[in-house]
Amino acid sequence: MILRQGKYMTNKYYFELEIKFSESNYEKLLEVLYSSGINKILETEKSIIIYLPENEKKLIDNVTRQIFANKLADKNSFVLKVIQNQDWDKNWKKTIKPVFIKDRIILYPSWLKKDVSRYKKRILIELDPKMSFGTGHNETTQLVLELMCDFSDTQDKYVLDYGCGTGVLAIAAIKLGQKKAIAIDIDKDSIENAKEYFKINKVTDSIKLYKKDIFEVKNKNFDIIYANILRNVIERNLGEIYSKLKPGGKLFISGVLADEESQISDSLKKNNFRIIDKRFKSEWMGIYAIKEKKDE
């Protein structure tokens, strides 16, 4: 969440709108917010939170109407508060801490660069929280990064970040030793954010970034594919993922709810993937699987 400064700071109060989300309503909620012109949000473990100044009451009313009209929230999952003005930017920054992945990676916002510079032997990745998924403060990104730390090796040189968001997985891959990466996303804002962070983290020359879906990618023989997206999207494209991996290639996925474990496991098996590792954080799970030969 990034609150805009200037005229908004003259308002006496703000509206805080918190909406609890699930896999079923997450994308539709974002569609309503983005189509209404709201593109700065705070995403917590289970909620989307937006802040708007008092002079945007009509926008709050419009968004509220759309959310209820599309049955995206009920009284128990929708909370609107009026709160007094304060130094939002300063107070918000205090809540953002570096994310430590095992003993290898640290994800940090730009304003904490000096604080993490003492970790000379860690991989440092700079990411300021924005509206794109994948800042490292959510469990799904952490799960994939942990799998990368545990199961990537020097033989892995060519990787695909499918649904890259901010591009954090592609950045981490290059910094972990992979030589080349392709990062794709169908969201324009995600592409712009990823481009910015590739430059900040000095990996632009090693990553090709495209606004594409996976079926539009012609490249094949990837050593690893990362897919931190929703289960139904992963399942729908397992054939494409399989065809683009080299024999014995690795697949790291998350964005899958823990209670969907049997569904995703069955889908992977049917598509000739063998699961090597599963791990869990909160209600999410991450999976490491490898491509096996198809039955003749």
- Domain of residue 55 covers 6-93
Q: If we measure between CA atoms, which residue out of 2, 64, 9, 69 comes closest to residue 33?
A: 64
pLDDT in tens, 12-46: 677 888 888 877 778 788 888 878 877 667 777 67
pLDDT surpassing 90 at residue 183: yes
pLDDT category of residue 130 using cuts at 50, 70 and 90: low
Joined together, the tokens standing for residue 223 give: 């050593």
Joined together, the tokens standing for residue 24 give: 């079923």
* 164 plus 221 within the same structural domain: yes
Amino acid (1-letter code) at residue 138: N
Pick 51 or 177 by higher pLDDT.
177
Q: Are strands 105-108 and 99-101 parallel, antiparallel or unpaired?
A: antiparallel
Question: Looking at 37, 64, 93, which one is the last position of a domain?
Answer: 93
Please indicate, yes or no, if residue 125 is contained in any of the structural domains: no
Q: In what order do the strands lie in the sheet with 78-84?
A: 42-43, 47-53, 13-20, 78-84
Amino acid (1-letter code) at residue 118: R
The whole-number pLDDT of residue 175 equals 96
Task: Report the pLDDT averaged over residues 240-250.
Answer: 97
The whole-number pLDDT of residue 132 equals 45
- pTM comes to 0.75
How many structural domains comprise the chain? Answer: 2
* 63 plus 193 within the same structural domain: no
Please indicate, yes or no, if residue 131 is contained in any of the structural domains: no
